[in-house]
Chain A
Amino acid sequence: AQKITQTQPGMFVQEKEAVTLDCTYDTSDQSYGLFWYKQPSSGEMIFLIYQGSYDEQNATEGRYSLNFQKARKSANLVISASQLGDSAMYFCAMRTITGYSSASKIIFGSGTRLSIRP
C-alpha cells in the first residue's frame, strides 16, 4: 500500500536559517510524483514544488528545493533563508498509479508544523 510519512510533527527555526523538512514514501509503483504543499493558519493549501520519479535533477522553485533520494524513498523539502512568512504546516504528498483502472490518486502525509523565530 502507498504511504507517506512525515516524522517531524513540529520544528522551530531561526529566521534566515535553512530548514529541511523530512518526507519518506512507500510505493511499489515505478511511476509516481511527489508534491509539497504549504498550509498557513488561514487554511488554504498552497502548492510549492513537484518531483517526478523519473526526473534526473532535483526540483527547485525559488527558495524551495526538493532533495530527492529515490533509493531511500525520501523527498525532503529544503527551504533556504527562512522567513517569518514561512511559518505554516507543510505537507508532503504522492501521486501514484493504482492497478486495474490506472486511476491516479494523491495521498498526503500528516504534516510538519514549521515555526520561524525572529
Chain B
Amino acid sequence: NAGVTQTPKFQVLKTGQSMTLQCAQDMNHEYMSWYRQDPGMGLRLIHYSVGAGITDQGEVPNGYNVSRSTTEDFPLRLLSAAPSQTSVYFCASSLYRGRNEQYFGPGTRLTVT
C-alpha cells in the first residue's frame, strides 16, 4: 500500500492564482481531512469528509473548497491564493470512527508571494 499520497511536495503561487492540492489514499478509508500547519504551530482542520459525496467545514475553511467524488481522492482547491495561505498542508485518512488513528501524507509546502 502507498498509504496517503500528496502532490505536489512544494508549490509557489502568486497572489490571486488558484490551484488544487491532490490527496489520495489506497486503504479504503471513509474519513479524509485536510489540515494546515503554520510555522511552530499545531494543525488546524480545513475541511473533512466522512465518505464519497459528503464533506464538511473544519476550523479554517475560508478560501478553500473540497469535493469527494471517490473514496480514494480528496482534492483541496485554493480559489484565489493569498499570502496568509502560506503553510504546510497535510492530508490524512482513517476509518470512520473510534480508535482508528489518522494516517498522514507527507505534506505540501505552499508559498504564496
> Which of A's residues lie within 8 Å of B, judged by CB?
6, 33, 35, 43-45, 47, 50, 52, 91, 93, 95, 97-98, 101, 103-111
Contacts and interface: CB of A to CB of B under 8 A. Distances in A.
B45 interface: yes
For the complex, would chain B's binding face be called helix, strand, loop or mixed by DSSP majority? strand
B107 interface: yes
Contacts of A95: 97
A101 to B, nearest CB: 7
B33 A44 contact: no
A111 B38 CA distance: 12
For the complex, would chain A's binding face be called helix, strand, loop or mixed by DSSP majority? strand
A106 B33 CA distance: 9
Nearest to B59: A107
A106 B43 CA distance: 10
B98 interface: yes
Nearest to A55: B99
B54 interface: yes
In order of increasing CB-CB distance, the 6 nearest A-B pairs are A45-B104, A47-B101, A110-B42, A108-B43, A108-B42, A111-B42
